[in-house]
Structure 1
Amino acid sequence: MKASLQAGVSATESIAIDRERTIDFMGEKARVYATPSLVRDIEVSCRNLLLQHLDEGEDSVGTRVEVDHMAATLMDMAVELTVTIAEVKGRMVTFEITGKDSVEPICRGRHSRFVVDVATTEQRLAAKAQKAGLA
């Protein structure tokens, strides 16, 4: 991890809400940004910020997501997700998240990620796959 990994570091990403990111169970007139898609976009946005402050061979895995999805965003709108590092404790990094569309705030929350060594993680997963009979 680089010294630049500090509380207060922030980034904003714009995400187009396409058909794939919407729910379909209430019909075409009620196609809105799905909460599972929002959670995935939060994880990706946090990881993207974190990667800028990690060393070669490091990555991160999500460990916790707390999100209030407060308003519907229509298909074909855009969402701005702002992720800010709130705390760094060893390899655990916690983010504060806010999101808005062109009309209103749509979400707020926290997300935690754990910084891992990719090679070590691959070895650990290979050992688990072997124990599970998947190797």
Structure 2
Amino acid sequence: MSENLEVGSTKSRKITIDADRTIDFMGEDCRVYATPSLVRDIEHACRDLIVESVPAGQDSVGTTVSIAHIAPTLLGMEVTVTVTVAALDGRKVAFDVTASDPLDKICTGRHERFIVDVGKTRDRLRQKAEKLAAA
């Protein structure tokens, strides 16, 4: 890991909510930011903060997500996702997360990621694929 990643490190990311990030099952006039899209945006913000702070060849994978999606965000609104390193335990990084649109706080929660060596991960995945092909 890197000394640049420490408890309190924070990153914010602004996202304009486009149609691909919204639900469509209640009709066009009820399109709002979908929870799975919010989770993806949180994961990307956390990953970005980690990748900026660790040596080349390292990355991270998500392991736990626990959020409350507490308010709707309309199509076309801008959301700010803010992630803050809450705890470090070896290669495990826990983030406190919030998201807001111009009118409401829309999310609070926690996300955990594990820092991995990309080459070793690639090797493990290749071995699993070989086992699957042989099964």
* Aligned positions of 1:43-122 closer than 5 A: 43-122=43-122
- Mapped to 2, the partners of 1:39 and 1:102 lie a distance apart of 19
**Other-structure match for 1:26:** 26
Residues matched between the structures, number: 134
- Report the aligned-residue RMSD: 0.8
1:83-134 Cα distance to aligned partner (Å, 9 max, x none)? 0000010000000001100001000000000000000000000000000118
**Normalization by structure 1: what TM-score?**
0.98
Letter in 2 for 1:45: A
Q: CA deviation at 1:2?
A: 1.1
In the alignment, structure 2 segments of 5+ residues that lack a partner are none
Secondary structure (helix, strand or coil) at the match of 2:133 reads coil
1:54-74 Cα distance to aligned partner (Å, 9 max, x none)? 101000000000010000000
Letter in 1 for 2:72: A
1:19-49 Cα distance to aligned partner (Å, 9 max, x none)? 0000000001100000000000000010001
**Normalization by structure 2: what TM-score?**
0.98
- Mapped to 2, the partners of 1:126 and 1:132 lie a distance apart of 10
- Mapped to 2, the partners of 1:59 and 1:50 lie a distance apart of 7
In the alignment, structure 1 segments of 5+ residues that lack a partner are none
Runs of 4+ in structure 1 over 3 Å off? none
